[in-house]
Amino acid sequence: MKVWGILKGEEAAKTLEVVETAKRLSKGENFGIVLLGKPEDSVLEKILFTAGSEGKVICYPNKLWPPGYVIAAITRILEQTPQLIFVPHNYSFMDSIPRLAAKLNCAILTNVHNISEDNNFLLCERPVLEGKMTGLFKIDKRHRVIVSLSAGIYEPKEESSKAELKMEDISFLQNIDPLRKITSIEKAAEEQVDLSQAEIIIGVGRGIGKQENLALVEELAKILKAEIGASRPVVDNGWLPRDRQIGSSGQTVSPKLYIALGISGAIQHVVGMKGSKTIVSINKDRNAPIFNISRYGIVGNLEEILPAILNYLKETS
């Protein structure tokens, strides 16, 4: 198979774009999905339907995946042909994917947030120079390459028929050097917010003016059952905690609705939220770049518009 998507079972629900990307790039030919760990049944069904009948899903039902196991599980199923191998761009793969690339003697391109095609080449966009610019990388599909995908690059779309599932025997792992010993697993502190699962996010930018105005945003978030995210200046000013930052040095999100309040649309912010399904922006500058990626835009002063929206929602709900 020429195209593979690899994801971890326990985080599969958050990384379904890997399945969608493998499906799209295989162009109707067979492709493979490797599941490192078995996800819960409902997520597994989602994966099988997202892959569709052209896909073959191979599941290794092991719980822990140190780098040695990841490399052993993947190398034993890859044939000696050129392949595009997609993985999620997240911490859980960062310690194994460079080692896998070294073992396979192939190139690796990380944090890709846009892919298009040009004959034998893939054109991949990723942030460069710490997110100050976007680089365009041309990948020759006739060579094997590993590409890590930024969250939300494609929205997963379920097909009418599902992929074949093969559960693999994991006894071979007993003889594999894990290359890292996991001594314990600790849950992240409760206050760490995971915005990647939020359906609605209100992104607050410098245009909110002052910290006191956040009370209106919190009120709106409560009515809409939304999470609050922020651009970097809002975090740097200490108005919201760092774990709310969205962008190249913050979280990557892809909610159904992203409401950008007083955000200009700098590339470092946009790479973190452009996968949102619908973007609504409010900004007093009609030329603000955020409007280029917005489905709906309101040009005006937040200090007038925000209270008006709140009044309307209160009256109608």
Ligand X SMILES: Cc1cc2nc3c(=O)[nH]c(=O)nc-3n(C[C@H](O)[C@H](O)[C@H](O)COP(=O)(O)OP(=O)(O)OC[C@H]3O[C@@H](n4cnc5c(N)ncnc54)[C@H](O)[C@@H]3O)c2cc1C
Q: Smallest gap, in angstroms, from Cβ of residue 299 to ligand X?
A: 9
Among the listed residues 88, 93, 130, 145, the one whose alpha carbon sits nearest the alpha carbon of residue 113: 88
Q: CB of 36 within 8 A of CB of 9? A: yes
CB of 33 or CB of 266, closer to ligand X: 266
CB of 82 or CB of 209, closer to ligand X: 209
Q: Smallest gap, in angstroms, from Cβ of residue 191 to ligand X?
A: 19
49, two tokens: 């339907």
Q: Smallest gap, in angstroms, from Cβ of residue 258 to ligand X?
A: 13
62, two tokens: 């092991």
Exposure string over 148-158, b if 16+ CB within 10 A, otherwise e: bbbbbbbebee
Q: CB of 114 within 8 A of CB of 124? A: yes
What phi and psi, each to the nearest 5 degrees, are found at residue 75? -65, -25
CB of 162 or CB of 274, closer to ligand X: 274
Q: Smallest gap, in angstroms, from Cβ of residue 300 to ligand X?
A: 7
Alpha-carbon gap, residue 20 to 153, rounded angstroms: 9
Q: Smallest gap, in angstroms, from Cβ of residue 290 to ligand X?
A: 7
Determine the residue type at 6: I
- Per DSSP, the chain holds a count of helices (H) and strands (E) of 9, 15
CB of 39 or CB of 205, closer to ligand X: 205
CB of 144 or CB of 244, closer to ligand X: 244
Q: Smallest gap, in angstroms, from Cβ of residue 301 to ligand X?
A: 5
Positions touching ligand X (CB under 6 A) are: 130-132, 205-207, 209, 231-233, 245-250, 262-264, 266, 268-269, 272, 282-285, 288, 301-303
Alpha-carbon gap, residue 200 to 229, rounded angstroms: 10
Residues contacting residue 95 through CB under 8 Å, at least 6 positions apart = 67, 180
Among the listed residues 313, 303, 298, the one whose alpha carbon sits nearest the alpha carbon of residue 214: 303
Q: Smallest gap, in angstroms, from Cβ of residue 190 to ligand X?
A: 23
CB of 269 or CB of 274, closer to ligand X: 269
CB of 115 or CB of 204, closer to ligand X: 204
CB of 32 or CB of 297, closer to ligand X: 297
Q: CB of 231 within 8 A of CB of 204? A: yes
In sign, the C-alpha dihedral spanning 2, 91, 74, 163 is negative
Alpha-carbon gap, residue 239 to 250, rounded angstroms: 15
Among the listed residues 259, 256, 255, the one whose alpha carbon sits nearest the alpha carbon of residue 313: 259
Q: Smallest gap, in angstroms, from Cβ of residue 304 to ligand X?
A: 8
